Amino acid sequence: MAEPFARIPYPFSARDPMRKSAKLLITGGSGFLGRHVVTEFARHGWSNLFAPRRVDYDLTQPAQVAQLFRCHRPRVVVHLAAQVGGIEANRRHPGTFLYKNLMMGANLLEACRRFGCDKVVVIGTICSYPKFTPVPFKEEDFWNGYPEETNAPYGLAKKLVGLQLQTYHQEFGLKGVYLLPVNLYGPGDNFDLTTSHVIPALIRKCVEAKENGSRQVTIWGTGKPTREFLYVADAARAIRLATEKLNTPEPLNIGSGKEISIADLARRIAEKVGFDGELVFDPTRPDGQPRRCLDVSKARRLLDFEAKTSLDEGLEKTIQWYFRHRQTDLVAA
């Protein structure tokens, strides 16, 4: 067995990692965000993409990660693979969320270091921010407290992977980027009510209530918390820009910079799908973090990135996609 911190050099000299013919590994490339990221890179001239599935390589297993790197020798890595879900999924499986996200990130970064990758882009989460971070969230507040309890295991796992990236840059010179996207939504999202996030869950509930003739839709929590949302294609563009332009491992917010309350979001979705019944909020269910809205000025400055898709436009596109695909295997029953 190789010594744990032995570097395994490539059998050829390092090349410019931003040359678009460089081998680009995208983990989680078959997932919701991943499919959009693969499309974004391909559309902008990256001609040597590789996006394995979990059935091909289990990233929680160090030996399988090492085999992935031995076989495919990526020069650039974008790490999207994650175990994700809404509040209920996080409450039911906190250990699973912590373990899988921590191990996937730790194994992948160690392989990037050992096999001499030129660059790795890690996708974190704003769930890692402290529960009572002042709004708008600024990157310098990232380490100033404990995350909101319902998704703390997930948030802390992703936070430690970000710390690993920073320490590997400091000790081993591994070049990397650590991005913190807000809540994403859009075509191809997960509409399974046991694991989905708020926008797809609300869309499905309102559509089914309308079709079933129900006069009520029940929504978790008080409706008072605010969230910021980013259309998935905009997130994919930010990830591609960061891959091409950045080499700093410090956290970088990626979002729209606009927040909306859950109650206002629910009313907007109900109107768009034509549900005119009552929206009932259940305060016995957890709200999650009180407010989420990012300061996105750093991304604007470093990447020239701004969200192009408004919430209204993005919701309409997502609802249209749901109506087209809900009877297929793309939407969980």
Q: Is residue 15 scored above 70 in pLDDT?
A: no
Judged by DSSP in three states, 78 sits in strand
Q: For the chain, what percent of residues have pLDDT higher than 70?
A: 92
Q: Are 151 and 87 in contact (CB under 8 A)?
A: yes
Of 1-5, 80-84, 258-262, least confident by mean pLDDT is 1-5
At 152, phi and psi to the nearest 5?
Answer: -60, -45
Q: How far apart are CA 245 and CA 232, in angstroms?
A: 20
Q: How far apart are CA 304 and CA 17, in angstroms?
A: 21
Q: Are 173 and 304 in contact (CB under 8 A)?
A: no
Of 25-39, 184-198, 237-251, 252-266, least confident by mean pLDDT is 184-198
Q: How far apart are CA 286 and CA 296, in angstroms?
A: 27
pLDDT category of residue 18 using cuts at 50, 70 and 90: low
**Host H or E run for residue 100:** helix 94-114
Q: Is residue 197 scored above 70 in pLDDT?
A: yes
Of 77-86, 101-110, 256-265, least confident by mean pLDDT is 77-86
Torsion of CA 252, 256, 258, 259, to 10 degrees: -80
The pLDDT value given to residue 326: 83
Residue of 295 and 86 predicted with greater confidence: 295
Q: Is residue 2 scored above 50 in pLDDT?
A: no
The pLDDT value given to residue 227: 95
Q: Is residue 244 scored above 90 in pLDDT?
A: yes
Identity of the amino acid at 112: C
Q: Are 280 and 217 in contact (CB under 8 A)?
A: yes
Query: What mean pLDDT do residues 189-208 have?
Result: 92
The pLDDT value given to residue 60: 97
The pLDDT value given to residue 49: 95
- Global pTM reads 0.90
Beta strands 226-231 and 259-261: pairing type?
Answer: antiparallel
Per-residue pLDDT tens over the stretch 269-296: 999 999 999 999 999 988 888 889 999 9
Query: What mean pLDDT do residues 142-151 have?
Result: 92
CA angle 7, 55, 27 (to 5 degrees): 50
> Which active-site residues does the annotation give?
154
Q: How far apart are CA 241 and CA 243, in angstroms?
A: 5
Q: Is residue 7 scored above 60 in pLDDT?
A: no
Query: What mean pLDDT do residues 66-83 have?
Result: 96
**Two tokens, residue 224:** 């008072």
**Two tokens, residue 68:** 């992935």
Chain-wide mean pLDDT for the chain? Answer: 91
Tell me: cis bond preceding 136? Omega within 30 of 0 counts: yes
Q: Residue 276, exposed/middle/buried by CB under 10 A (0-12, 13-18, 19+)?
A: exposed
The pLDDT value given to residue 13: 35
Q: How far apart are CA 122 and CA 130, in angstroms?
A: 20
Q: How far apart are CA 332 and CA 24, in angstroms?
A: 30
Query: What mean pLDDT do residues 146-157 have?
Result: 93
Q: Are 53 and 68 in contact (CB under 8 A)?
A: no
The pLDDT value given to residue 8: 41
Residue 24 has, within 13 A of its CA and on its CB side, a CA count of 27
Query: What mean pLDDT do residues 75-95 have?
Result: 89
Query: What mean pLDDT do residues 58-85 have?
Result: 95
The pLDDT value given to residue 328: 57
Q: How far apart are CA 137 and CA 79, in angstroms?
A: 23
Assign domain 24-185+228-254 one CATH number from 3.60.150.10, 3.40.190.10, 3.40.47.10, 3.40.50.720: 3.40.50.720
Query: What mean pLDDT do residues 99-103 have?
Result: 97
